[in-house]
Structure 1
Amino acid sequence: MPTPPGVDALLELFAELTGVMFCAKDADGRYTEVNDAFVRRTRERTRAAVLGRRARDLFVPALAERYEEQDAAVLASGRPLRHELELIRRGNGVAGWYVTTKLPVHDSEAGDTVVGVVSVSEDLRAPEDSDPSLPALARAVELVASRPDRPPRVEEMALAAGCSTSVLERRMRRVFGLAPTQFVLRTRIDHARALLTGTATPLAEIAAACGFHDQPAFTRQFARLAGETPGQYRRRAR
C-alpha cells in the first residue's frame, strides 16, 4: 500500500524534535517508527535496533507493562489516551517529567479498523518567567509545595490563585502543561524523590510525608510513574 501523502515529511519532522519523543506501533505492539529522542531513552543507540521490537524488549517490566496496557486500551476502544503524566529518564540519565498522548491509527480500507498506535511524549521543561499567568499561579504552586502531606483540592488552588477552577485548569495547562491534579501529583512525587535520595527516612514515613494513605499505595503510584519502586529508585541513586 502506498505511503499516504505527507507521511514521509511528517516522520522527517518528528526526527528533528529533541524535546518530544515519538513512536508508532503496529497492532502487535512492535515499533514501526521512532525518532532519535525516543531511541535515547532506551538502551539502544540506533533506530534500527529499536524497530521491530516491543516495549518488553526495551524497558524495565513495570514500564513495559504500563505501555502495553495503554496501547491495548487504545487499540480496543479506538479512542485516544491524552495527557498521561510520566517520569522518564532523559538521554543524560536524569529523570524528567513528560506528558504522553497516544492516538489510534485507522485503516479506512479495512472498515476503519484500528491497526496501530502513534505516541508523543513532551518534555515538561520549566515554565517561561515572562508568562503573565505565572504570578497568580505562583500562589497556588506555593500552596501545593507547602503541603505535600495534605494535597490541596483544586478548589483550594483556585482560591489561592484568585480564579475559578476552569480558569486555573486552562492556565496550569498553558504554563506547566499539566492539569492541577497532575501538578499536585508531580510535586508530591518530586518531594518523595528528594527524600529517597537525600535522606535515610523509612519508606513508610516518606509515604506519609507525601500524602499517601500507606506505603503500598505510595509504592504503586511511584512505580506506575517511574517504572521502578521507591526502594529501587533509592538504591540506584546511591
Structure 2
Amino acid sequence: MNVSDDAGWPEAKALLDALSPAMVALMDELTGVMFCAKDAAGRYVLVNEVFVARTRERSRRDVVGRRAPDLFVAELAERYEEQDDRVRGTGRPLRGELELIRHAGGAPGWFLTSKLPVSDDDGRFVGLVSVSQDLRSGDADDATIRDMARLRHEIEARLELGDVPTAGDLAALSGYEPGALERRVRRVFGISPRQLVLRLRLDRATHLLTSTTVPLAQIATAAGFADQPSFTRTFARVTGETPAAFRRRSTAARPPA
C-alpha cells in the first residue's frame, strides 16, 4: 500500500503519522480481509485492494478522501458511520461485529469486523482503523470439520422446527464440553457458537427473502424470531438494511430469466 499515492490533507497526515508504516504495508498482503483507515472526519485515508473491490470504484485513488455515503448504499453507510461514532465516542474498540455484506455482484457473504481508535502522541483522536475478515472455513483437522458440519446440520434441523438452540443445546448436540465446543466452532467458522446460530438463522432468512415471495412475518417465524419487528431490528443491525430493502435489492440484481 503506497502511502504516497494517498491524499495529504491535514487530518489525513495526523492519522498517517500515528500509524505504523509496517502495519500499513502489511494490509496489502491480506487477500480475505478488508482494511481501511479513516481520519477524524470520517474520510478514507488508506484502503487495501480488497476494500476497493467491495465498492463500485476501480482504484484506491477513487476511494481516498471520500466518506462511506459516497461509496455504499445508504443503509450500509449509516451502519458504518454509527459504528465509527461508537468508537470515537467511547474511545473503545469495536470487536467481532458479525456482518452480512454483499460481495461484488450482489451475493451476500459473512464478515467479522473490528474497529480500533487511533490517537496521536497527545492522546487526541485522529481516526480509526478497521478490518473485516471474510468468514470461510478455517484450518481444522478432518474430524473437527466433520463434527462441526454435523453440528451445523443439527442447528439447521432445529431451526426448521422453529426451535432456536441455546448454548446448552449446542453442547448436547455436539457432544463437546462448552469450552471445547467454543474452540472448535471458532477454528472452523471463525465465530462463537452464539454467533453461528445467529448466522444460520439469518442465512435461512436471506434464502427465503431472495428465493420466495413469503411475507416477512412468516420469514421472521421461520428464522426463529418472536415477531416481525424483532426480526427487522436484528436483520438491519447485522446487514445494514431492512429485510424489505434487502429483498428489493436482491430482486433488482437478479438477471432476467
The question of a shared fold, defined as TM-score above 0.5 by the shorter chain, is answered with: yes
Residue identity matched to 1:145: E
In structure 2, stretches of 5+ residues that fail to align are 1-12, 252-257
Residues 187-238 of structure 1: CA distance to partner in whole angstroms, max 9, x if unpaired?
0111111111222211111111111111122122222222222222222323
SS at match of 1:133: helix
Q: Could you tell me which residue of structure 1 aligns to residue 55 of structure 2? A: 42
Contact 1:23/1:33 (<8 A) preserved: yes
- 1:135-214 alignment to 2 at 5 Å? 135-148=146-159, 149-214=162-227
Q: Could you tell me which residue of structure 1 aligns to residue 133 of structure 2? A: 122
Contact 1:134/1:175 (<8 A) preserved: yes
Give the superposition deviation at 1:129. 6.7
Contact 1:219/1:230 (<8 A) preserved: yes
In structure 1, stretches of 5+ residues that fail to align are none
Q: 1:102 to 1:6 in 2, by over 3 A?
A: closer
Aligned counterparts of 1:59 and 1:131: Cα–Cα separation in 2: 39
SS at match of 1:99: strand
Contact 2:69/2:78 (<8 A) preserved: yes
RMSD: 2.2
Aligned counterparts of 1:56 and 1:237: Cα–Cα separation in 2: 20
Contact 1:136/1:162 (<8 A) preserved: no
Give the superposition deviation at 1:142. 2.2
Moved more, 133-142 or 35-44: 133-142
Identity %: 54
Give the superposition deviation at 1:99. 0.4
Between the two proteins, the alignment pairs up a number of residues equal to 236
Q: Could you tell me which residue of structure 1 aligns to residue 29 of structure 2? A: 16
Matched, 1:30 2:43: yes
- 1:78-117 alignment to 2 at 5 Å? 78-108=91-121, 110=122, 112-117=123-128
Give the superposition deviation at 1:150. 1.7
Moved more, 148-157 or 133-142: 133-142
SS at match of 1:84: strand
Q: 1:70 to 1:236 in 2, by over 3 A?
A: closer
SS at match of 1:207: helix
Q: 1:86 to 1:57 in 2, by over 3 A?
A: same
Aligned counterparts of 1:152 and 1:170: Cα–Cα separation in 2: 18
Q: TM-score, normalised by structure 1?
A: 0.90
Contact 2:91/2:117 (<8 A) preserved: yes
Aligned counterparts of 1:229 and 1:19: Cα–Cα separation in 2: 26
SS at match of 2:141: coil
Aligned counterparts of 2:207 and 2:214: Cα–Cα separation in 1: 11
Contact 1:172/1:180 (<8 A) preserved: yes
Q: TM-score, normalised by structure 2?
A: 0.84
Residues 139-165 of structure 1: CA distance to partner in whole angstroms, max 9, x if unpaired?
432221112232100111012111222
Give the superposition deviation at 1:6. 8.7
Contact 2:140/2:188 (<8 A) preserved: no
Structure 1: 4+ residue segments shifted above 6 A: 1-6
